[in-house]
Amino acid sequence: MRSSAPRLRGSFGPYAAALAVAAAALTATPALAAVPTPPPVSWNGHVDTPTEGPAPTDVTETTETTGAPEVTEATENEAEAAAAREYKGRVIARSGLLLRDRPTRSSRVIGTAAYGQIVHIFCKTRGDNVNGNDRWYLLTDGNWAWGSAAYIENIGQAPRWC
């Protein structure tokens, strides 16, 4: 009886060795200690250099008595950088702001924001013109929705572009 499997011919020794070398090269990990860490950069693009005190560390240390993580300068800087990237605005439309699924006046309304409500803005883009303003903000409150920038007053810096 003949087997239905195809018969393999020839020597596979050189191919097996090459395959083993390629697999080893793909699975090898570089030494992470050799890669220098870049200096921290502030929200305005400037390199933050500490003026006094020890240099910030990237590793959080644990206290000997409680075992809880200790807050270091690096984690404080990261928190400040995250707060600097958070954009907020206040709704100034007296009748409330219609939140839409796209940055157009004809898109579907998926929610509303009340007058005076503080909204969290992810980014801005250009869209339909509303009262001479073609900017729309992508809001992250609850669900992702677009609101016309004509009816949102920035609190702090203007949002980044999407």
Token reading at 17: 């060795």
- Under DSSP, the state recorded for 66 is T
Whether the CB-CB separation of 71 and 92 falls below 8 Å is answered with no
Summarize the chain as % helix, strand, coil (round to 5): 20, 30, 50
CA pair distance 123, 140, nearest whole angstrom = 10
pLDDT tens, residue by residue, 8-47:
555 555 555 555 555 555 444 444 444 444 555 444 444 4
Residue 140 clears pLDDT 90, i.e. is over it: yes
CA pair distance 71, 66, nearest whole angstrom = 13
pTM of the model: 0.51
Token reading at 101: 């699924």
